[in-house]
A and B are shown apart, each in its own frame.
Chain A
Amino acid sequence: MHEIGVRETVQFAGLTFNWETLVMTWITMAIVLLIAFLASRNLKLVPTGTQNVVEMLIVWLREQVANNLGARGDFLSPLVITLFLFLVISNWLGLVPQMASPTNDLNTTLGLALLMVLIVHVLGLYMKGMHYVKHFFQPVPLFVVINAIEEVAKPITLSFRLFGNIMAGEILIIILLKLVPIWMPIPSVIWLAFSIFIGGVQAFIFTSLSLAYLANAVKEDEEE
């Protein structure tokens, strides 16, 4: 059991890395890839087993993408699907003994949030041009202040929400194990079950908020 809040760091090329987070991220990536590989290894027109589950997930997320981004946003489906799968597996990985969630490190969540916001702005400029810049100054130019604050708030809220939820969950698991005697496992079990639920919900929230931000940049404006 590791000390809460203390991170093992490694130095590489003059930069500091959180070693545990990196290893857990790679494990998560491996699991996601394994699932994807198992699901797509033997594709059939009439689906069975793993293919069914992954297919359902993909169809559902593509539907979300289509609803939020319109027909133009279909090329972003792999990004959104990967985001959701990565976050779900990350969140659940911390519930396995001896493991930690990559998402319990602010570096991960803030990194993902910044990446999303970056993609949003780049896509907005690329797909809408000056029109995208103009919408920060609407309805009156003074609104640029509020809009700027909003844009800064987006990645911060996105990352801290996920980080806080997962970190708190893992801390509480450790605390419950220390507080409650070993013959009384019910609180831990309940909290674990709840954490599984939280992990799924937080992954979905992060994904759908990212989608909403992306919609702002990609979707055609109906009124103009």
Chain B
Amino acid sequence: MIDINATLIAQMLNFLILVVLLRAVAYKPIVKMLKEREDNIANNLKQAEDDKAEAKKALEQYQAQLADARVQAQEIMDKAEKRARDEKAAKLQETNQEIAQMKEAAQQEIQREQARAVEKLKGDMVTLSLAAAQKIVSKNIDVAENEALISEFIDQLDKNKIGDLPC
């Protein structure tokens, strides 16, 4: 049962051959693949880390931009409001001016009308006075004397008064 012979040497050789073959067929490719996988995982982890950092940076950027935009919008709104207020004030002033002008024009018109009315009244008064005087006196003195009398009467009238009426 226990007989040592040349099989011992043959088995050593067989085993060494198997070692060499296995190393070439399986061990090397599998170890290479394991290393590749390790690298791959490490790379992916690093990539994920980088992506995360980048995303965070981008988010911060967006937030900063958003805040900036909000400030700008506020500024634009403020400006627009100010302009509207200024415009409104300017318009108001213009309108006021116009009103004042119109008022002045109307006043002048009234004065002009008044003056014309006074002139017309004066003319009418002469005729009326003449007629009245003719009827009262009934005696026709002298045309020249009449004229002088009436002129004196009219001159006695106040410039701004017709009889007792204010004008």
Contact = CB atoms under 8 A, between A and B. Distances in A.
B19 interface: yes
B102 to A, nearest CB: 93
Interface string A14-53: 0111100110011001001100110110011100000000
A100 to B, nearest CB: 13
A25 B27 CA distance: 21
A89 B14 CA distance: 14
A102 B11 contact: yes
Interface of B: 1-12, 14-19, 21-23, 25-27, 29-31, 33-34, 36-37, 40
A107 B18 contact: no
Given A33-B25, A77-B27, A107-B7, A45 B33 contact: yes
A214 to B, nearest CB: 14
Interface string A142-177: 000000000000000000000000010000000000
Interface in A1-24: 4-5, 7, 9, 15-18, 21-22
Interface of A: 4-5, 7, 9, 15-18, 21-22, 25-26, 29, 32-33, 36-37, 39-40, 43-45, 54-55, 58-59, 62, 77-79, 81-83, 85-86, 102, 105-108, 110-112, 114-115, 167
Nearest to B2: A106
A54 B26 contact: yes
A29 B18 contact: yes
B12 A58 contact: no
B18 A114 contact: no
Contacts of A79: 19
A167 B4 CA distance: 15
Q: Which secondary structure dominates chain B's binding surface? A: helix
A25 B12 CA distance: 11
B18 A39 contact: no
B7 A32 contact: no
A77 B28 CA distance: 11
B5 A111 contact: no
Contacts of A106: 2-4
Contacts of A7: 3
A50 to B, nearest CB: 11
A17 B7 contact: yes
Nearest to A36: B26
A193 to B, nearest CB: 26
Contacts of B37: 45
A15 B19 contact: no
A18 B7 CA distance: 6
Contacts of A114: 8, 12
B1 to A, nearest CB: 4
B2, B8, B21, most chain A CB atoms within 10 A: B8
Given A9-B5, A107-B7, A26 B14 contact: yes
Given A37-B25, A44-B33, 17 more contacts: A22-B10, A26-B14, A29-B18, A33-B21, A33-B25, A55-B30, A55-B34, A58-B27, A78-B27, A81-B22, A82-B19, A86-B18, A107-B7, A111-B12, A112-B11, A115-B16, A167-B1
